[in-house]
Amino acid sequence: MNGFNPLVFSGVQPTGNLHLGNYLGAIRKFVALQDSYDCIYCVVDLHALTIAPDPVELMRATREVTAAFIAAGIDPKKNIVFNQSRVKQHAELAWVFNCVARMGWLSRMTQFKEKAGKDRENASAGLFVYPSLMAADILVYRATHVPVGDDQKQHLELTRDIAQKFNNDHSTRIADLGAGVEMMMGDEKVNGFFPLTEPLIEGPAPRVMSLRDGQKKMSKSDPSDLSRINLTDDADSISKKIRKAKTDPAPLPSELDGLKERPEAENLVGIYAALADTTKEKVIADFGGQQFSVFKPALADLAVEKLAPIAAEMRRISADPGYIDGVLREGGERAEIQAEATMKTVREIIGLLGD
């Protein structure tokens, strides 16, 4: 992107119950990108603190997400895999960005509104500034591409706004220090320090919906376990949940357009397409006119074929927490070198005295 070296960064919160949405919206893309990019994948344990998790559960979930990354096919030797809190520069840059982001920008974040609910006065300040930390995660490596699900789009727009404001506010100093990289901002060619990161959201399942309600996102926090396929589910549970998934009585349409206004059907077709690495058009070409009594078993077989080996591998890896901790330690050491190089320059740009 412009003059920046292409670099992929993404993060997943260790908040328990990794599910099919996390896999199709994010982790599967992480695996695919490792062949063409340098990639940094982070278990964002500082973000998890915004909802005050139990400490022992937080450590378990941090290891579990790491195991899921590796089980899904991420190579921790080739890529950097680590937990966020090990690299202190994330928190340092987040503070800098808290002073760049405007209250108005943060107040507009739909995820904050959803998570804070009606009792906003009682939400943690951390939940409010969550997106500044997310921008810091990405920009402390000056990452150019971020694979995420559709629900993170707004946070990535905010990340660009923060980068742009930082670049503008400090343009003279960035130029004086020769720290900038030539890039386009709108129609203008400028020397910016931070890239305007691009989200990678496309694919047939950017937003996987609940299996019980096609209007609701599949989520870790849904009280109904039937609403989601967990990455740790065994073959029987996967099949059962797909069999019980809510649908309407009509057969699948023979045109893609026929899925409009049928959110449950559209969701299952999207899941099938993503798991089969194909398009929704192709799934409709194969199953159009068929009843769910035919489609659901085919989807269940496919889901079991793709997901059960990941669950088994997660169990195998999780049995060796020493290995997982080693991966995170080594990843953290490698990440810190890059993050500190960025922060050294940031401190100079903004006027913090250091070595």
Using CB under 6 A as the criterion, which residues of the chain lie in contact with ligand TYM when the complex forms? 9-13, 21-22, 24-26, 44, 47, 134, 137-138, 146, 148-149, 151-152, 155, 207-208, 217-218
Considering the complex, what minimum distance in angstroms separates the CB of residue 289 from ligand TYM? 28
Q: For residue 217, indicate whether it is catalytic.
A: yes
Establish whether 88 is a catalytic residue. Answer: no
Q: Least distance to ligand TYM from the beta carbon of 58, Å?
A: 13
**Cβ closer to ligand TYM: 158 or 346?**
158
Judge whether 220 counts as a catalytic residue.
yes
Nearest-approach distance from CB 134 to ligand TYM, in angstroms: 4
Indicate which residue of 115, 165, 246, 282 is catalytic.
115
Strand partners, 81: 41
Catalytic residue among 88, 118, 165, 217: 217
- Closest approach, Cβ 270 to ligand TYM, in A, equals 10
Amino acid at 198: E
Task: Give me the catalytic one of 153, 165, 220, 240.
Answer: 220
In whole angstroms, the minimum distance from the beta carbon of 234 to ligand TYM comes to 21
* Cβ closest to ligand TYM, residue 114 vs residue 320: 114
Please, which residue, 17 or 191, has the CB nearer to ligand TYM? 17
Nearer to ligand TYM, 10 or 318 (CB): 10
Residue closer to ligand TYM by CB (options 131, 192) is: 131
Closest CB to ligand TYM: residue number? 25
Residues with catalytic roles: 115, 217, 220
